[in-house]
A and B are shown apart, each in its own frame.
Chain A
């Protein structure tokens, strides 16, 4: 893996550079079929939203407002899950909502996870004052109801998709930094890192070529364990009006819209919540399985 640099290449080749992805057989047999199917279904729904429904998620049609789901007396199969207070088809909005929620969730997850992992790698490898400072920052972030800062962020800059993504990354990064730094602390003491350093590799090269591949397993597990949480954060922000602004449907804002119709139209807020529950549950169960299969030492998380 070091074909570019002969001097370092020779030394490093002998050391166990990349911990292979060790799939545990017992865990592999217990692939969580149902959660996996739900995840695939949700992703497909998000991607194919335009094809799946004949209705528009935003066009208002007041004469059709608050139709109940089809199994109730006033309901019809034209709107299987009924309509919302603006007369929009609820199922259609759920389908488009999947797109927004998953998109915002994943972008925020990758941004927050990336920044967190980078800071964790730097803190762990650099040690000393850099480490102390970054970890103090991480601890403060973890102990702070950081969603408040995210709210402040959105209120000041105005809601838009990218702003919400940044807000989620702001909430998320510390969880990654903490764990990745812990991993790096043990890896950097291994011989192959010392050899690389003796051979003259720059800190950047050591971090990218020698440390990063070794924390990838942990990073993947962490990412998968946080998906569910990110979806809930996104929904919470939207519910509070600090998410992607209307009329774009998101699951959280749909629940908020139904809040004033609790007594008369239960379905408006019920189904988006159910969608969140099913999706988050699927991701959480999948993440648990992935953790057991790839890196059981993370059990406590």
Chain B
């Protein structure tokens, strides 16, 4: 077990390093930033001086080392537009993103689990068809457009809910629904097919023969086992959640990281985009590591692979 954790930890660090190198190389693709920072008629000496001040006259590996050691210490440079440290911008916004993501995730789970289980148990009925339609629509609708249409209906016309921003509990309703709905589709489909597999297995039949009530068989014996594949896809849901959050936060003017990256794109504020990408990568890779460890703990077969 320890060896397994160590190996996975090592792999995670390696992945993060590779990604930071990729981001660093991409940032050097832009060409020389001094051209943008100095006026056109700047003398050769001015350019050389600025290049020296920024460390651009150093060899690439040295530059990468400086970039990396600063990033580890939380120094991501200053925003080109706001002129404040990027780290401050991120810490200010992180809690908002976390709250929205948590609410959406809860909503998705609360909707997807009953729907997936019922669709599997009542296969072929109207409920199954409904679940299928939800799944197909979930894959065909552009998330940001759904958000806009929901604003038009519930905020502009009916005036039931606020248009955008944060404040009361009501501000959560539309964004978290928009964000959560898209996870429902995938989760539900997966749960439905794995429930169908499990329901046909020997031990479920045995439980039935033994006289265990249907409800208990479905919700306890079968669901527990059907959850394993859903857990496996946890990392992919997380990726979807983050992608979705960028779009949904932009639509609803939610002051989180997603909106920050959007503003970074609009103003071509490279340090901001770079920092958010790196930070998100760190979060994703850590969560993956955690999921793998939990998984190995739950299922001993994985440890000895």
Q: Give A residues with C-beta under 8 Å from B.
A: 136, 140, 142-149, 151-157, 228-229, 232, 235-236, 239-242, 252, 255, 258-259, 262-263, 266, 269-270, 272-273, 276-277, 280-281, 284-285, 300
B251 interface residue per 8 A CB criterion = yes
Q: Does the CB pair B273–A152 fall under 8 Å? A: yes
Residue of A156, A269, A272, A284 with most chain B CB atoms under a 10 A cut-off: A156
Q: Which of B156-172 contact A (CB under 8 A)?
A: 156, 163
User: In whole angstroms, how far apart are the Cα atoms of A153 and B29 in the complex?
Assistant: 10
A236 neighbours in B (Cβ, 8 Å)? 142-144, 243, 247
B60 interface residue per 8 A CB criterion = no
Q: Does the CB pair B265–A242 fall under 8 Å? A: yes
**Among B63-71, B199-207, B214-222, B233-241, which stretch is in contact with chain A?**
B233-241
B26 interface residue per 8 A CB criterion = yes
A148 neighbours in B (Cβ, 8 Å)? 242-243, 246, 261, 276-277, 280-281
Q: Does the CB pair B265–A143 fall under 8 Å? A: no
Closest 9 pairs (CB-CB, A-B): A273-B145, A143-B235, A145-B242, A281-B140, A145-B239, A280-B140, A145-B243, A148-B277, A147-B243
B116 to chain A, nearest CB (A): 14
User: In whole angstroms, how far apart are the Cα atoms of A241 and B144 in the complex?
Assistant: 13
Q: Mark B126-162, 1 if CB is under 8 A from A, else 0.
A: 0000000000110111111100110110001000000
B284 neighbours in A (Cβ, 8 Å)? 143-145
Q: Does the CB pair B236–A262 fall under 8 Å? A: no
B30 interface residue per 8 A CB criterion = yes
A287 to chain B, nearest CB (A): 10
B91 interface residue per 8 A CB criterion = no
B266 interface residue per 8 A CB criterion = yes
Q: Does the CB pair B251–A273 fall under 8 Å? A: no
Closest to A239 in B: B144
B49 interface residue per 8 A CB criterion = no
Q: Does the CB pair B29–A156 fall under 8 Å? A: yes
B104 neighbours in A (Cβ, 8 Å)? none
B interface residues, tally (CB under 8 Å): 52
Q: Does the CB pair A142–B236 fall under 8 Å? A: yes
B178 interface residue per 8 A CB criterion = no
Contact for A263 among B141, B156, B251, CB less than 8 A: B156
B23 interface residue per 8 A CB criterion = yes
B268 interface residue per 8 A CB criterion = yes
A284 neighbours in B (Cβ, 8 Å)? 136, 139-140
Q: Does the CB pair B148–A259 fall under 8 Å? A: yes
Q: Does the CB pair B264–A269 fall under 8 Å? A: no
Q: Does the CB pair B152–A156 fall under 8 Å? A: no
Q: Does the CB pair A255–B277 fall under 8 Å? A: no
Contacts A145-B239, A152-B277, A277-B140 aside, 19 further interface pairs with beta carbons under 8 A come to A136-B15, A140-B15, A142-B235, A144-B284, A145-B240, A145-B280, A147-B246, A148-B243, A149-B22, A154-B265, A155-B268, A240-B246, A241-B262, A241-B266, A255-B144, A258-B148, A270-B149, A276-B145, A281-B137
B260 to chain A, nearest CB (A): 12
User: In whole angstroms, how far apart are the Cα atoms of A273 and B41 in the complex?
Assistant: 47
B125 interface residue per 8 A CB criterion = no
User: In whole angstroms, how far apart are the Cα atoms of A148 and B239 in the complex?
Assistant: 10
With A228-B139, A236-B142 known to touch, is A155 a contact of B270 (CB < 8 Å)?
Answer: yes
Q: Does the CB pair A255–B30 fall under 8 Å? A: no
Q: Does the CB pair B270–A255 fall under 8 Å? A: no
A235 neighbours in B (Cβ, 8 Å)? 142
